[in-house]
Structure 1
Amino acid sequence: MTIYFEKTYQRSFGTFPLKGRDLHDAIHAAAKVGYRAFDTAQMYENEAETGAALKSTGLPREELCITTKVDIANFSEEKFLPSVEESLRKLQVEQADVLLLHWPTPGGDIKLSLELLQKAHDQGLAKHIGVSNYTAQMMRDAKSIVEAPIVTNQVEFHPLLDQDKLLAAANETGIPLASYCSVARGEVFKHAIFDEIGVTYGKTAAQVVLRWILQKGVSINTMSTKPANIQANFDVMDFTLSSIDMDRIEGMTKTGYRIVGRDLVPYAPDFD
């Protein structure tokens, strides 16, 4: 069982695009309600502030699961490991709990970046390693390239997007998925079905969406600066959606609403 499937870490607090006081206060609010997994990235330019905020919570280091991601600008022999070491200095830790490749290498040749990720693991810079925004075929290729277990592929995952091909690849390769844009940046709230289902369970539309993701076998990343929402996003382990409601929500994946594509990220791969 990987760290991403341990109950404590199935719910991760994302830090993008937070900085400054907003980031500090949000991390403290998240820690107070029980979050112990926190997600950042070199690209977010907030690793130092994230590290300082986590340090100031007073939480023991061994309770935390800190994930960061290597920017594609550092996917070279010269830059990769030094950039990871710099991330660790900023985060004020000796080792990342999970180190991800933020994107596949532009052009599709993922071998070198994966080998460098393996090297970071071998040198003790990362306890666990993973990838992000990988296609199903890239997941299969990564499995054959990397010796260390790949603990996750962090991808856009919500009920308005069909990710069945990635889920099938996750089952095939043993690489679990983790979600970002878990409530489709608010787009789910335009669809009444989530509120309607929520009434049955005494839960909000957002909680229904997050629970659906968890029951699909995918861990969740959420972000908010509002303490009430941070609490609500965390409180999704005390109910279970029925198979009927799971199927009703599944029907919404035909919406085909993708947030992160080439119009937003020019170097994004051809997603499944």
Structure 2
Amino acid sequence: MNIYFQKSFQRGFGTFPLNGDDLRHVIDAAIGAGYRAFDTAQMYGNEADTGAALAVCGVAREELCITTKVHPDNYSEEKFLPSVEASLKALQIDRVDALLLHWPPADGDVAPSLRLLQSARDRGLTDAIGVSNYTARMMNVARAVVEGPLVTNQVEFHPLVNQQKLLAAASETGIPLSSYASIARGEVFKHRLFAEIGKTYGKSAAQVVLRWTLQKGVPLNTMSTKPENIRGNFDIMDFTLSSIDMDRIDALNATGYRIVKPGQLPWVPQWD
């Protein structure tokens, strides 16, 4: 089974942009709320703080799912594997559960970095591999280049952006999506629909948004520094949105709101 679709790992906790004591405190709160999947990246600069917090969290290593992502600056034969080994050392583990390519390379040629990613799995540095921020075309290339499964394409996914092309590519390629920016960094709260629907179920607007994403078949990454929100973001498995409410939320895809836009970073592709 894909690790992200195991029930205990469908709701992951993101660590960006935290570090130090702030990160340690929220990881403690996340563990207490029930989170067992944690997401970091070389780019975040907090792998060591994440590893230190998880090492003393009181949960056995085999019960955790730890994901990290390789920085595009390390997509070369000389840098790739040493960078992954440095990540493992920082995280205080001998292998990561899932290793992702954080962004496509700036030139759009994804094949070389995908082969390096596969070599990390072949060497036992990770149990599973995947990608992040890939377009539908890139997903099809990845499926052709990589031997064995790719466990995810982690992308911006929330009700305010239409990701139907990526969902279709996920179905075609067998590379499931997972989400970051799952509440669009608060932008969803400008739309009263979520709170209105939430009243029907006794849930918050954020819980409605996150439940919609799960019902789309997309595992979550969420982050908050507030213990009550950390718990609320996790407690979304005891209700199901009706098909009518799902359709009402789907209509907001037309908003077209994106946090990450082309040109914002050197590696951002032209989105589907």
**Which aligned pairs between 1:237-248 and structure 2 lie closer than 5 A?**
237-248=237-248
Between the two proteins, the alignment pairs up a number of residues equal to 272
Q: In the alignment, residue 46 of structure 1 is paired with which amino acid?
A: N
Counterpart in 2 of 1:118? 118
TM-score of the pair, normalised by structure 2: 0.99
**Which aligned pairs between 1:1-272 and structure 2 lie closer than 5 A?**
1-272=1-272
SS in 2 for 1:151: coil
- Computed over aligned residues only, the root mean square deviation of the Cα atoms, in angstroms, reads 0.6
TM-superposed CA distance for 1:59, in Å, is 1.0
SS in 1 for 2:240: coil
TM-superposed CA distance for 1:56, in Å, is 1.2
Check conservation: 1:99, 1:126, Cα contact below 8 A. yes
TM-superposed CA distance for 1:263, in Å, is 4.1
SS in 2 for 1:167: helix
Q: In the alignment, residue 155 of structure 1 is paired with which amino acid?
A: V
TM-superposed CA distance for 1:267, in Å, is 2.3
Once residues 226 and 263 of structure 1 are traced to their aligned partners in structure 2, the CA distance between those partners, rounded to angstroms, is: 32
SS in 2 for 1:237: coil
SS in 2 for 1:128: strand
Check conservation: 1:15, 1:39, Cα contact below 8 A. yes
Check conservation: 2:160, 2:257, Cα contact below 8 A. yes
SS in 2 for 1:266: coil
After superposition, what is the alpha-carbon deviation per residue over 1:32-63, rounded to whole angstroms, capped at 9, x for unaligned?
A: 11100000000000000000000111210000
TM-superposed CA distance for 1:261, in Å, is 1.2
TM-score of the pair, normalised by structure 1: 0.99
Check conservation: 1:131, 1:150, Cα contact below 8 A. yes
Unaligned 5+ segments in structure 2 are none
Once residues 189 and 266 of structure 1 are traced to their aligned partners in structure 2, the CA distance between those partners, rounded to angstroms, is: 30
Check conservation: 2:106, 2:266, Cα contact below 8 A. no
Identity %: 68
Once residues 247 and 263 of structure 1 are traced to their aligned partners in structure 2, the CA distance between those partners, rounded to angstroms, is: 32
After superposition, what is the alpha-carbon deviation per residue over 1:157-199, rounded to whole angstroms, capped at 9, x for unaligned?
A: 0000000000000011111100000000000000000000000
Unaligned 5+ segments in structure 1 are none
Check conservation: 1:151, 1:176, Cα contact below 8 A. yes
